[in-house]
Every structure is written in C-alpha cells, then in structure tokens.
Amino acid sequence: MTDQNTSTQISDEAARGAVSNTGLRYVLAFSLGFAVIAMSLVWIIPALARAAH
C-alpha cells in the first residue's frame, strides 16, 4: 500500500504538457481581431451599397 502522506511535485510545463510563452496568445488575439474586422466588413459594405441606391 502507498503512503498517502507524501506529496508529488510536478512542474507547470509537465502538468500542462506544453511549454508556456510560445506566442499563442498573440496568434489568438490576431485571429480574434481579424475575425471582428472581417465580420464588420461583411455587414458594413452591403449596408453602404443599399444606402447608396
């Protein structure tokens, strides 16, 4: 039987299974910004075209 009073120390990278600070947050932020701009253009351009007629 194992001793339940012992603690196991695991590093952050080992627990996550990945290395942090690889720039992923910048990729996600850029993608979110691009999606907002693209969806805005899809909405604004037809609205402007209808208003011009």
Tell me what the mean pLDDT of segment 27-46 comes to: 96
Burial class from Cβ neighbours inside 10 Å (0-12, 13-18, 19+) for residue 34 reads exposed
Q: CA 46 to CA 40: how far, in whole Å? A: 10
Q: Which residue has the higher pLDDT, 46 or 1?
A: 46
Angle CA(14)–CA(22)–CA(10) in degrees, nearest 5? Answer: 15
Where do the domains of the chain lie?
A: 23-52
pTM: 0.56
pLDDT band at 3 (very low <50, low <70, confident <90, very high): low
